[in-house]
Amino acid sequence: MQQVKTIPLKLYNYGEELNSLVQSYTSGMNYVSTVVYKHGKPMGSNKIQNRVYQDVRNLGLLSQMTCNICRQVAGTYKTLKEQIKTGQAEWQEIQYRPTNMIFSYKRDFTITKEWVSITTLDGRKKYPFHMYSSAEQYFDGSWEFAASKLVKHKDGYYFHLSVSKTIPDPPELVETSTFMGVDVGMNWLAVVNTTDNKCKFFSGGKAKNLKNIYSSMRARLQAKGTLSSKRMLKHLSGKEKRLMANMNHNVSKEIVQFALDNNVNCIGLEDLTGIRTNTIHKTRKKNRYQKSSWSYYQLHFMIEYKAKAAGIRVEYIDPQYTSQTCPRCYHIAKSNRNGLSFMCKCCGYRLHSDLIGAKNIELRTRDFRYILESQGREVSRPDECPEFCSEPQAPSFRAG
């Protein structure tokens, strides 16, 4: 399995040529986007390239840049098509801003520990960059360089270097024996529960306070509308996002370490695709910003790639009723949950509602394994869970 990472490296000693390069690249992308939009449906990169190659070259762009533009635009409209299928968007012409461009390794750029050499409209140029201590490990020869991006940040240009390395595949689901469910939320950033009932809570209070502070601060500054308030808004731009990303990095690292400490082979996560569009209308207006801006996907993404790097399998399960289902008798009722408290109306089972979610996610992840066994696949026995071995279990509704 390939593990891929992106390393941002800040460039120095560059001139106006990078602005001209990115601007020309963006003009080429917007031209190709117009062609695809007028076609009325997405096209593959080869078909786009056959249609627009010479026109884009006439804009002053080089051959490999033209190929990269066709692939990038094709990928964007493919994503738009998927969003149209789920009702999240409608057919529209996509316009790009001059903020980044793609380079192909060995064709458009080469790199050493001291500088990166990239192809500009004026030929090859070398640019030194700041070598962060955390980035040195990716230049030891064990990582391969791949297509990367030149990105314009507020404080200048960064080269987002993509690196990849082959790592052992996580164990197959039929080979797993210990599972862990991860329930993400707002009151608690994450709650985890393993097959042998070891659990851990990761507080979300700090994240909620962070979002409340920056939300109210932006509202006050926007209401003033003065030049100084606009400067402050620009200064604050992206700070909340960076702090939340750092928080998610720390939490995901702790979750994976907890899994390693408890010999977990497979982590279960909820498939929260479309959660924003499906639930936003059910949320009170004053809480909609927190609900719509919460970084569920980012936390899941970080848990997944760190778990795979540690040799742990990740499975996504259906999130429906995970917070309303009793893990003991499998009774489902909306009234089972009341805020952070859970009490089953059928058997009286009581527990923290987020921990109930983590338990059900772990149980449903195990269900996949039992389904394989029922189909005749040879699997190893999971570690038995003391709580559920003390009494007969009803069959899981997912397996039925």
179-223 pLDDT, tens per residue? 999 999 877 889 999 999 999 998 877 777 888 888 888 888 889
247, 207 in Cβ contact below 8 A?
A: yes
Is 381 within the bounds of a domain? yes
CA distances from 146 to 3, 129, 301 (A): 12, 18, 20
Neighbouring residues of 149: CB distance < 8 A, sequence distance ≥ 6: 100, 101, 102, 103, 159, 160, 162
Residue 324 token pair:
């309303």
Indicate the residue type of 24.
Answer: S
- Sign of CA pseudo-dihedral 74, 78, 83, 89: positive
Find tokens 């990472």 and name the residue: 5
Same-domain pairing of 280 and 264: yes
Answer yes or no: is 230 within a domain: no
Domain enclosing residue 199, as ranges? 173-204+239-389
Confidence at residue 287, expressed as pLDDT on a 0 to 100 scale: 60
Question: What's the number of domains the chain is made of?
Answer: 2
In this structure, the answer to whether residues 136 and 285 fall within a common structural domain is no
Closest CA to 116 of 22, 29, 7, 263: 7
User: Last residue of a domain, which of 166, 190, 220?
Assistant: 166
Residues 119 and 189 in one domain: no
Q: Which of 138, 166, 194 is the last residue of a domain?
A: 166
Is residue 150 located within the same domain as residue 272? no
Residue in the structure block whose two tokens are 């031209």? 31
Q: Do 360 and 244 belong to one domain?
A: yes
In a shared domain, residues 151 and 284: no
Q: 248 lies in a domain?
A: yes
CATH code of the domain in which 335 resides: 3.30.420.140
Specify whether 138 is located in the same domain as 183: no
Shared domain for 40 and 158, answered yes or no, is: yes
And the tokens for 179? 């599972």
Same domain, 86 and 200: no
- Residue 134 domain-assigned (yes or no): yes
pLDDT at 275: 65
| 156 contacts 19 by C-beta, under 8 angstroms | no
Query: Based on the number of CB atoms within 10 Å of its own CB, is 187 exposed (0-12), middle (13-18) or buried (19 or more)?
Result: middle
23 lies in some domain = yes
Q: Which of 106, 140, 166 is the last residue of a domain?
A: 166
Backbone conformation region of residue 311, classed left if phi is above 0, alpha if psi is from -120 to 50, else beta:
left
Distance CA(135)–CA(111), nearest Å, equals: 13
Residue 372 included in any domain: yes
Half-sphere exposure of residue 374: CA atoms within 13 angstroms, side-chain side: 10
Across the chain, what does the average pLDDT equal?
86
- Answer yes or no: do 125 and 30 share one domain: yes
Q: Is residue 395 part of a domain?
A: no
Are the C-beta atoms of 336 and 326 separated by less than 8 Å?
Answer: yes
- Say if residue 112 is in the same domain as residue 194: no
Q: How far apart are CA 342 and CA 147, in angstroms?
A: 49
Over the stretch 319-343, which tens digit does the pLDDT of each residue have?
889 989 999 999 999 999 988 899 9
In a domain, 214, yes or no: no
Percent of the chain with pLDDT over 70: 87
The side-by-side arrangement of strands in the sheet containing 109-111 is: 109-111, 115-120, 123-128
CA distance 211 to 215: 6
132 and 6, same structural domain? yes
Q: Which residues of the chain have pLDDT under 70?
A: 274-294, 372-400
Q: Is 77 exposed, middle or buried (0-12, 13-18, 19+ CB in 10 A)?
A: buried
pLDDT at 170: 83
Helix/strand/coil (H/E/C) assignment for every residue in the chain: CEEEEEEEEEECCCCHHHHHHHHHHHHHHHHHHHHHHHHCCCCCHHHHHHHHHHHHHCCCCCHHHHHHHHHHHHHHHHHHHHHHHCCCCCCCCCCCCCCEEEECECCCEEECCCEEEEEECCEEEEEEECCCHHHHHHHCCCCEEEEEEEEEECCEEEEEEEEEEECCCCCCHHHCCCEEEEEECCCEEEEEEECCCCEEEEECHHHHHHHHHHHHHHHHHHHHCCHHHHHHHHHHCCHHHHHHHHHHHHHHHHHHHHHHHCCCCEEEEECCCCHHHHHHHHCCHHHHHHHHHCCHHHHHHHHHHHHHHCCCEEEEECCCCCCCECCCCCCECHHHEECCEEECCCCCCEEEHHHHHHHHHHHHHHHHHHHHHHCCCCCCCCCCCHHHHCCCCCCCCCCC
Distance CA 118, CA 129 (A): 13
